[in-house]
Amino acid sequence: MYVLGIETSCDETAAAVVDADRRILSNIVLTQLEDHRPYGGVVPEVAARAHLKHLTPIVRKALAEAGLNLADIDGVAATAGPGLIGGVMVGTTAAKAMAFAAGKPFLAINHLEGHALTPRLTDDVAFPYLLLLVSGGHCQLLIVEGVGRYRRLGTTMDDAVGEAFDKVAKCLGLGYPGGPALERAAADGDPESYDLPRPLIGRAGCEFSFSGLKTAVRQIVDRQPPGPLTYSVVADLAASFQAAAADALADRTGNALAIARKYLAQQEKGLGLTALVVAGGVAANRTIRTRLAALAETDGLPFVAPPLALCTDNGAMIAWAGVERLRLGLVDGLDARARPRWPLDPDATPVAGAGVKA
Ligand code: KG4
Ligand code: ZN
């Protein structure tokens, strides 16, 4: 079974072919970094136009690298949300047209499900597992019980962690995209040089909050002498911020492990957690990975983090979610909508005051 997957929900135009034996036959990702750099962030209209321009050649390349024609494909999957609606419409419309032309099923994929199921593509992880999903738009802890079955334990009350990395990087003059630049600067700094707040740490539950931490960095920057920041201040602030963010993620994830175990023990099947998994763009951060790996080890659980290229947005994760859904017969009609918002767990109680993105 071969599935073609298309991802256009943010600033990557991506297409990939994956098969049911967990093989990635091709995975082409074109990032639009240069298109958005002058604006210091992703501009939705610019993104949608770039997707329109690049998607067809990228899909052709993905098929050619896989050595397949559209006729060989068993299903066409595309991100149908959540994300920037213009881009999502470009991707879903193209996928529906190809599915219709080839007479193959169309699969409308939730982008977050793509991230959530990636560890099954890379490491064949069995359900149920605890997932920390950390990206530019999301910061959530979920029990992944099965395809389409997610239980959200906590989310952010304000910024997503990737968003906080991006904003702090911008404030430190590290440019865009912020996360990787901040991690590089942090490598030259001392994580203990600034005593930054650790929001919510030590409290019950597993909600997140990053805006106070971001503001604390901004206030320190504002107190510096006029003129550009020295590199040592930038590096020290980057390292201190990264350490505080890692502490917050580890603390909340620790609570979530206990909550997840309790929840699963109450279920009919009484299954135990199989792994702690981290996914999404921020999972590329080595400090954060190391902290989470240590937490899992203390807990006696395997720790799974997909390879860096499969943590950030890509087509393989969408194709794989397509494989998972297709083999369960969960196909979609050509009238499936593009959705700017689409929570993985629609029953999750909204967090008070949360600017929840899903
Ligand atoms: O999953 P992703 O590619 O796109 C979204 O769905 O948001 O995640 C992008 C986010 C950005 O906020 C980016 O700054 C962050 O992931 N990111 C990182 C690193 N690499 C990417 N954050 C911290 N450290 C990194 N190395
Ligand atoms: Zn993503």
Q: State the helix-helix crossing angle for 111-123 and 315-326, rounded to 10 degrees.
A: 80
Model pLDDT, residue 37: 81
For residue 224, the CA-to-ligand 2 centroid distance in Å is: 35
> Which ligand has an atom closest to residue 287 CA?
1
pTM: 0.92
For residue 273, the CA-to-ligand 1 centroid distance in Å is: 26
Q: What is 127-301's CATH number?
A: 3.30.420.40
Looking at the CA of residue 161, tell me the nearest atom of ligand 1.
12
Q: Among the residues of 126-230, which ranges form H helices?
A: 161-171, 178-186, 211-222
Bridge partners, 321 (sequence order):
none
Q: How many residues does the chain have?
A: 358
Domain boundaries, the chain: 2-117+309-326, 127-301
For residue 12, the CA-to-ligand 1 centroid distance in Å is: 12
d(CA 27, CA 69): 15
Same fold, 2-117+309-326 and 127-301: yes
Per-residue pLDDT of the chain (358 residues; tens, 9 = 90+): 999 999 999 889 999 999 999 999 999 999 887 888 888 778 888 888 989 999 999 999 999 999 999 999 999 999 999 999 999 999 999 999 999 999 999 999 999 999 999 999 999 999 999 999 999 889 999 999 999 999 999 999 999 999 999 999 999 999 878 999 999 999 999 999 999 999 888 899 999 999 999 999 999 999 999 999 999 999 999 999 999 999 999 999 999 999 999 999 998 888 899 999 999 999 999 999 999 999 999 999 999 999 989 999 999 999 999 999 999 999 999 999 999 999 998 888 765 444 333 3
Which stretches does DSSP call E strand in 147-275?
149-155
HSE-up of residue 166 (Cα within 13 Å, Cβ side): 17
Q: Could you tell me which of 21, 98, 103, 18 has the C-alpha nearest to residue 55?
A: 98
d(CA 7, CA 111): 8
CB 198 within 8 A of CB 247: yes
d(CA 357, CA 156): 9
Model pLDDT, residue 329: 98
CATH, domain 2-117+309-326, list 3.30.420.40, 3.40.190.10, 3.40.50.300, 3.30.70.270:
3.30.420.40
Q: Which residues of 258-281 are buried (b: 16+ CB within 10 A; e: fewer)?
A: ebbeebbeeeeeeeebbbbbbbbb
